[in-house]
Amino acid sequence: MFQDMGVGVNVRNVSRIPGLQRADLVRSEAFIGGAWVGAESRILVDNPADGSVVGDVPNLGAAEAMDAVTAARDAMPGWQGLTGKARGEVLRRWSQLMLAHAEDLARIMTGEQGKPLTEARGEVAYAAGFLEWFAEEARRVNGHVLTPHAADKRLTVLRRPVGVVAAITPWNFPLAMITRKAGPALAVGCAMVLKPSELTPLSALALAKLAEEAGVPPGVFNVITGEAAPIGEVLTGDPRVRKFTFTGSTAVGKMLAARCMATVKRVSLELGGNAPFIVFDDADIEAAVDGAVASKFRNTGQTCVCANRFFVQTGIHDRFAAALAERVGGFRLGSGLTGEFDQGPLIDARAVAKVRAHIADAVEAGARILTGGQSAGGLFFEPTVLVDVKPDALVNREETFGPLAAITRFETESEAVRMANDTSAGLAAYVFTKDMSRSVRLSEALECGMVGLNTGLISTEIAPFGGIKESGMGREGSRYGLEDYLDLKLVCAEIDLE
């Protein structure tokens, strides 16, 4: 069954993810122009929990990326020509198929990404929610008629699909980061080329399989797998791509956005965060600990809206830190495909090294470890809580992207706001207080795109998601999420008044 191809191992059509109802959802070919496209050169997909191979996908490049753009360009007129209702019906079927195969999608996701199965199930529902939401919005892409500036003029503003969309998405939410883009793009009549992370292509291809079954026409949704750089060059450079949407790190996003300017593409960026999590003396401590667990430790601390810097007021500091350490110290770590666990592995060895480096830097400057601090074998890392972390510690300057809660003490509200805003990132912020006036003051003062007040969970398809400062531009989800895929066109008509 295994055949050395010289460029990898041929494991095509072999599902290494146990317990699937539909093994054919694990694809080993990319999806371009409605056809499943293979290649001799393969990329192996690992389960980060144990290093086992769970699939393999084609290692495609620039030529196939251009084919995908051609397919999208050719498919777009027909798709755009449908009514919004008809496009919405296809998106709704796609969403329903995701829910019908939720357990398989969750297992595939856990198999290649490592998050606990319960979290993967949650992401499937969240991801399907974007398709459902935008299925409904497809019928409401209305223009405007303006009061004219002269008696013989008539002004109409049309909202037109922006054109072929190229998307690059990360590994941390292998489905939701895709549907959050595909939902609005397809709803308004755009066709799309997607390059998922090479670490999690199986979820993206399973989604493409369900798109095919839902009746998304050939070429409207294309998924290309392969090395990021050559594919990225086409997606950012090809003049036929009119919109580039990226979710990932700030460094890569900046570089790709700059390239898009040569052909003046519309660009949306969902980049890294460095969220403050501020707990005031008057907070409900249990709610604050619940919020910290949800916001910091979900997905092993690998979410862009993860709390990254904990600022806790002196009066509640010791109780909060002890309660958080006790809670996460009891986490069960393990592979989501073999049982129920609270925390999975990190994505790769570089991620583990970063957590270690942030702990070492803080401890060297006087921080104390309340719980964790050590590797738990392989890519697993103990959930860790540090106190007495200095404001200028590495962990407060960079996104850790791992299970590390680093707590810095503060005295006054203005001090907390100053420290919270002292970053180039501006994605999310969290505030725990029972004082309503203070929550309003902080909601206004914090420099970010989203504020969680007394909650650590802020994401839903019905609200705008996105950042300010170097965390990105544009919004995803909600009715605002359509705007990034629409151009305004003015029609100014001079009419005969007789």
- Site residues for ligand NAP per CB under 6 A: 168-173, 177, 197-199, 228-229, 232, 247-249, 252, 256, 270-273, 304, 399, 427, 467, 472
Structure token digits, residue 280: 């005031």
Whether 304 is a known active-site residue: answer yes
Cα–Cα nearest to 405, from 477, 345, 317: 317
Nearer to ligand NAP, 48 or 273 (CB): 273
Least distance CB 229 / ligand NAP (angstroms): 5
CA distance 336 to 341: 6
Q: Can you tell me the distance from the alpha carbon of 102 to that of 203, in angstroms, rounded to the nearest whole number?
A: 11
Q: Which of 190, 304, 306, 448 is catalytic?
A: 304
174 closest CA partner among 112, 227, 130: 112
Take residue 480 and report the two structure tokens written for it.
Answer: 């605002």
Residue 334 or 452 having the CB closest to ligand NAP:
452
In the bound state with ligand NAP, the residue whose beta carbon lies nearer, of 342 and 470, is 470
By the 10 Å C-beta count (0-12 exposed, 13-18 middle, 19+ buried), 145 is classed as: exposed
H runs (alpha helix) in 189-300: 201-214, 228-237, 250-260, 285-292
How many Cα atoms within 13 Å fall on the side-chain side of residue 124? 27
CB 348 within 8 A of CB 123: no
Least distance from C-beta 283 to ligand NAP, angstroms? 26
Q: Which is nearer to ligand NAP, 79 or 134 (CB)?
A: 134
Instruction: For residue 269, give Cα distances in angstroms to 186, 239, 276, 377.
Output: 18, 19, 21, 35
Quick one: 116 or 232, whose CB is closer to ligand NAP? 232
CB of 168 vs ligand NAP, minimal distance in Å:
5
Catalytic residue selected from 119, 123, 270, 483: 270
Tokens for 268, please give them: 């949306």
CA-angle at 232, arms to 66 and 108, nearest 5°: 95
Residue 444 known to be catalytic: no
Cα four-point dihedral sign 239, 244, 249, 250: positive
CB of 78 to ligand NAP, least distance (A): 28
Task: Tell me the one-letter amino acid at 63.
Answer: A
What sign has the CA pseudo-torsion 366, 402, 199, 53? Answer: positive
Find out whether 457 and 473 touch, Cβ atoms under 8 Å: no
Tell me how far, at minimum, the Cβ of 380 lies from ligand NAP, in Å.
Answer: 19
Q: Which is nearer to ligand NAP, 161 or 449 (CB)?
A: 449
Provide the minimum distance between the beta carbon of 364 and ligand NAP in the complex, in angstroms, as a whole number: 25
Residue 418 CB, nearest distance to ligand NAP (Å)?
23
Supply the residues annotated as catalytic.
Answer: 270, 304
